[in-house]
A and B are shown apart, each in its own frame.
Chain A
Amino acid sequence: DVVMTQSPLSLPVTLGQPASISCRSSQSLVHSNGNIYLAWFQQRPGQSPRRLIYKLSDRDSGVPDRFSGSGSGTDFTLKISRVEAEDAGIYYCMQGIHWPPTFGQGTKVEIK
């Protein structure tokens, strides 16, 4: 299985400051069609995961533009330009190009 490794696993952030989460895959996530099938999910306490980003950098409808995704074949980043209180939760990266789809361990974002 493709291993997805996130860092850091815990990220204390100050309101209004930027935040960045790294995700690395053990294999390339570049499809022959040129797309990179890397997604990011947010899971708030007691809630189901919510997709934020798909195909590396496409933002889902309703997701604030302070969230952005970037990266290359095996190294990826989720950035929050200015953290707000509602951004607290656990963030997961996920690859969908190799079966089975696999998730990172999760990064817990805590507001200081």
Chain B
Amino acid sequence: EVQLVESGGGLVQPGGTLRLSCAASGFTFRSYWMSWVRQAPGTGLEWVANINPDGSEKYSVPSVRGRFTISRDNAKDSLYLQMNSLRAEDTAVYFCARDPGFGAVDWWGRGTLVTVSS
């Protein structure tokens, strides 16, 4: 069965950094696009970034571009999100998701909570 397990969330001060990880299992990780999607408390879903199977193509939304970097290690079946210059508005649950194409993510992790506050 497909499993995606996020880790690395926590409380960080504005301007701080965090690195999220997502451990994948149950499928051929290196064959899939992977994505990060976030959900601020009590609100809807927002796409953050995605990456192609070999890591050569990366896309992120303007609100995080230049601050967040998505990456992957296919040897470790792992996805990452390096988050720098964090802002209060980045506070959210961050989900790792498998993307079979055209954004129609079909498996989601349970998410990891990132709280940016002083």
The range of chain A's interface size is 20 to 34
Contact across chains for B45 and A49 when beta carbons are under 8 A apart: yes
A37 to B110, CA, bound (A): 24
Using Cβ atoms and an 8 Å threshold, which residues of chain A touch B44?
92, 103-106
User: In A48-66, which residues have CB < 8 Å from any B CB?
Assistant: 48-51, 54-55, 60
Using Cβ atoms and an 8 Å threshold, which residues of chain A touch B45?
41, 49, 92, 94, 103, 106
- Give the shortest distance, in Å, between B32 (CB) and chain A (any CB): 14
Contact across chains for B59 and A54 when beta carbons are under 8 A apart: no
A57 to B87, CA, bound (A): 38
User: In A79-100, which residues have CB < 8 Å from any B CB?
Assistant: 92, 94-97, 99-100
Contact across chains for A51 and B47 when beta carbons are under 8 A apart: no
- Give the shortest distance, in Å, between A6 (CB) and chain B (any CB): 10
Contact across chains for B103 and A48 when beta carbons are under 8 A apart: no
- Give the shortest distance, in Å, between B110 (CB) and chain A (any CB): 6
Using Cβ atoms and an 8 Å threshold, which residues of chain B touch A60?
106
Within 8 Å of chain A (Cβ to Cβ): is B104?
yes
User: In B59-116, which residues have CB < 8 Å from any A CB?
Assistant: 59, 61, 95, 101-106, 108-111
Contact across chains for A55 and B104 when beta carbons are under 8 A apart: yes
Within 8 Å of chain A (Cβ to Cβ): is B54?
no
- Give the shortest distance, in Å, between A38 (CB) and chain B (any CB): 9
The residue in A37, A55, A100, A102 that gathers the most chain B C-beta atoms within 10 A of its C-beta is A100
Known: A48-B109, A48-B110. A102 touches B104 (CB 8 A): no
A55 to B104, CA, bound (A): 8
Residues of A at the B interface (CB closer than 8 Å) are: 31, 35, 37, 39, 41, 48-51, 54-55, 60, 92, 94-97, 99-106
Not counting A48-B108, A106-B45, a sample of 20 additional A-B residue pairs whose C-beta atoms are within 8 angstroms of each other reads: A37-B102, A37-B104, A39-B103, A48-B95, A48-B111, A49-B45, A54-B104, A54-B106, A92-B44, A92-B45, A94-B45, A95-B103, A96-B102, A97-B103, A99-B59, A100-B47, A100-B61, A101-B103, A103-B47, A106-B44
Can you sample 6 A-B contacts with CB below 8 Å? A31-B102, A37-B103, A96-B103, A101-B102, A104-B44, A106-B44
